[in-house]
Amino acid sequence: MRKLTIFDKLVNEIDQALRTVHTLAPTTARKNPSVDITTEHDLSEDERKLSARLMRINHAGEVSAQGLYRGQALTAKREDIREQMEHSAMEENDHLNWCETRLDELDAHKSYLSPLWYMGSFSIGAVAGLVGDKWSLGFVKETEDQVVKHLDEHIVKISKKDTRSLAILNQMKIDEAHHADIAVEAGAAELPLPVRKFFMPLMSKVMTKTSARI
Ligand SMILES: [Fe+2]
Ligand SMILES: [Fe+2]
C-alpha cells in the first residue's frame, strides 16, 4: 500500500468530519442499548424537554469526542496509540448515533453548532497529539473522567420514566470509563492543574451551556 501523503490525510479528515456531522462515520456496529427496552412510559412535556436538552448536550459531546480522537490519531506518534484512538473514535460514533436516534424519538434537534464543536475539538486533539503521546493520552483520561461526571449528573436529572435515554447513558458511561482506563494503561501523564481545573472545565461549560439551547 502506498504511503499516505499529508494531502491524502487532510482529504481523509475532511471526509471524516463530514461523515461525523451527518452521522455516517464508521461505528463498531453494536446494538443500540435502547432497542431492547420494553417498559416505556409516556413523558410529560417538561420531561420530554429535559430529556431533549440533555441528549442534545450528550450528542454535542460525542461530536466533540469524535473530533478529539480523530485529531489525536492524526498526530499521534506511536502506531498502537493511533489504532487505540481510532477504535475509541468508532465507539464514540456508536454513542453519537444512539444519541441522534433518541433525539429523533424525542422530536428534538441536534445542536446546530455541530461543525463548530467538531472543528474546535479536532484542533485541540491535533495539538495534544503534537505535544506528545503521553500528554495526549492524559488529555483523553481527563476528558473521559469529566464526561463520566456529566453522565452521572444527567442520569440523576433525567426522568426515571425515560428508560430509553437512560439505557443509552448507562452504556455510554461504561464505555467512557473504559476509554479513560485504557488511556492510563497506555501511559497517560497527569495534565497540569490549570489545564485540568480551569481550561477543560471552561471548555466543557461553554459547550454544554450553548448546545443545551442551540
Ligand atoms: Fe462517548
Ligand atoms: Fe469516550
Q: What is the pLDDT along the chain (214 residues), one digit of tens a residue?
A: 667 777 777 777 777 777 777 666 677 888 899 888 877 778 889 999 999 999 999 998 888 888 888 888 887 777 887 788 788 888 888 999 999 999 999 999 888 888 888 888 888 888 888 888 888 889 889 889 989 999 999 999 999 999 999 999 999 999 999 999 988 998 888 888 888 787 788 887 877 888 777 8
CA end-to-end distance (rounded Å), the chain: 44
* pLDDT score of 192: 81
How far, in Å, is the centroid of ligand 2 from the Cα of 173?
8
- Considering every ligand atom, which ligand is closest to the CA of 176? 2
**pLDDT value for 164:** 93
CA distance 170 to 145: 15
User: How many whole angstroms from 80 Cα to the centroid of ligand 2?
Assistant: 17
CA angle at 11 for the pair 6 and 13, rounded to the nearest 5°: 90
Please state, in angstroms and rounded to a whole number, the distance separating the CA atoms of residues 181 and 206: 26
Looking at residue 82, its pLDDT comes to: 79
CA of 95 to the centre of ligand 1 (A): 5
pLDDT at residue 12, as a whole number: 77
pLDDT, position 79: 82
Ligand closest to Cα of 96 equals 1
pTM: 0.81
Q: How far is the CA of 140 from the centre of ligand 2 (A)?
A: 8
CA of 183 relative to ligand 1 center, distance in Å:
14
How many whole angstroms from 43 Cα to the centroid of ligand 2? 29
CB neighbours (10 Å) of residue 29?
7
Q: How far is the CA of 88 from the centre of ligand 1 (A)?
A: 8
C-alpha cell at 109: 434537534
Cα 176 to ligand 1 centroid, rounded to whole Å: 6
The per-residue pLDDT for 46 is 92
Which ligand sits closest to the CA of 180?
A: 2
Give 182's Cβ-side CA count (13 Å radius).
13
User: Given the C-alpha cell 439505557, which residue does it identify?
Assistant: 167
3 C-alpha to center of ligand 1: Å? Answer: 31
Cα–Cα distance for residue pair 80/74, rounded to 1 Å? 13
Closest-lying ligand to the alpha carbon of 84?
2
172 CA distance to ligand 1 middle (Å)? 6
Contacts of 50 by beta carbon, 8 Å cutoff, 6+ apart:
157, 158, 159
